Every structure is written in structure tokens, then in C-alpha cells.
Amino acid sequence: MTSFQYTVPTDGLTIEHLLREQWEAGKKTVHFMRMSKSVTGVDGEPVEWKFPQKAGTELTFTVPDAHSTYTPEKMNLKVIFEDEHILVVFKPAGIATHPNDSNQTGTLMNYVMAYVKENGGEYAEHIHRLDQGTAGVILIAKHPIAKTLFDRMIERNEIVRKYQAETDGLMKRPKGTINLPIGKDRHQPSKRLVSISGQSAVTHFRVLERKTDTTIVEAELETGRTHQIRVHLAHLGHPVVGDVLYDGSRTKDGYFRLNATALSFTHPLTGEQLNIEQ
């Protein structure tokens, strides 16, 4: 079980409308919460689901089956932002975002799970992911309702994700938008390419600095396809430095120069506008 606090934002809102219509919580979750009377007021008493609440009313929601199965693994974790709904953490280059099977360790989510458990929690799920070679900020949900809300925000492009990349060559265009679909490379499963039969993909970019033979670029995702920035920049003839999969020049440490630098969004559970930077 996981509990969180919520302040009713407007007069007349009912628990049923909030869960079913606004948050679109899963049917199983909604049924359990109603049957177990797991929405309570400040006095600890269950709240009537169809009773209109007043703005400013403090409620406690207790969510069922709120636990994750990642094996906790202790590691220094850089936490950039945290409240009772979400974490924003820094992922170093060279580690995977999450395990590919239940026995895998050494991933960011193993470290996040250890941190969450140390602080009394049982649940942590990533909202998006970064490639193993990419460093930067990742958003984590701390309970299933937050997971549902933020997943929907990602689908609707309501979370602005900014990246900074160092690319090979001197990019002439000061800014632009790359609107080219991305699909799988049938000859190399781990690779993606621009393909008319692929999924739509949109990347906005602008040049921050031109060096001797490389360019520093800020990129903003409108969609979130696998390897999207890497594929789009390589297609322009300016692959990310170190990204040998897409013909980028090699680096001494073997990592490519791509960092997720910032997240911006309106918090769906607090209404706060957040601009979180690495």
C-alpha cells in the first residue's frame, strides 16, 4: 500500500469524478479503493465518493498493490527533485535505465528502488527512459496514480524534455525542426533509421556553440522514439560525438556526448509549474 495527500483544487469535485474522469485510474484500482474506503479526510474517516468536496479540502488516498519488483541495489543516487508523487534523478552514462529481466541488477531502477525502500516506500516506476550511453534527468513515479497521469502526459507531449548534444562537424543551420519518421533497421536490430514506414518523430534543435570541428546543440523532443535525437542528427550529417552506432567519431571513454538536461511540466497532482534542470 502507498498513501499520498491531495488538496481539492475546486468546489464541487467528487472522489468518483476525480479518479474516473480526471485521473483515469485503472478500473481495478478504483474498485479496490471504493470497496476498501481508502480515501479519507483529515479526521481519518472515509469520504463519501459522490459527495461534492470544497476547494482546499485535504484528502488522503491509499493505493492498493503499490509495490515494484526491481531488486534494490545500494548506490549513490543523485536526486534532483522529490515530492510524495515523483522523483527526478540523474542517470550517469554507461548504465541502463531499467533491467531487461527480473534478475538483472546494476541499472538505474535498482538504485532508485533501494533509495525508495530506505525512505519507507515500495513503489517506483520510470516514466521515460534514456539510452545506456546517455546521461541526464529521468522522471520516476512513486505511486500508480502518478504513473498513470505522467504516462498520459508523455503521450500528449505535455512534458518538455531538453537535451544537449555535441555533434561531429560544424552545423550551418542555427535552428530547425526535424520531422522524419523513425523505424527499425531490419539488418541490425539494435539500430534505428529514418524510414517512411516508421513512427512519426519530431525533434526541434538550435545551435548553442560551434567549436573547431564540433557543434553543441540543444534538442527538444516532441515525440519519444528510440534513439530519436541520435538518428535525426545523424541523418543531418552531424552524428553525436562518440555514437559509433550512427557513425559518430570515437571518444576515449567510449561514451557519446548526449545529455538529458531539463524537464518542464505542470504537476498534475499539485498544479505547480516545474522546470527541473540537471
Annotated catalytic residues are: 131
Sign of CA dihedral 105, 263, 275, 168: positive
Per the listing, cell 522522471 goes with: 139
Q: Which residues contact 76 (CB under 8 A, 6 or more apart)?
A: none
Query: Over the Cα atoms of the chain, what is R_g?
Result: 21
3-state secondary structure (DSSP) of residue 63: strand
Residue type, 84: E
Rounded Cα distance, 120 and 158, in Å: 30
What is each CA distance from 58 to 37, 54, 64, 83, 89, in whole angstroms? 16, 9, 20, 16, 28
Segment (H or E) for 218? strand 214-221
- Closest by Cα among 275, 164, 176, 148 to 214: 164
Q: Which residues contact 104 (CB under 8 A, 6 or more apart)?
A: 96, 110
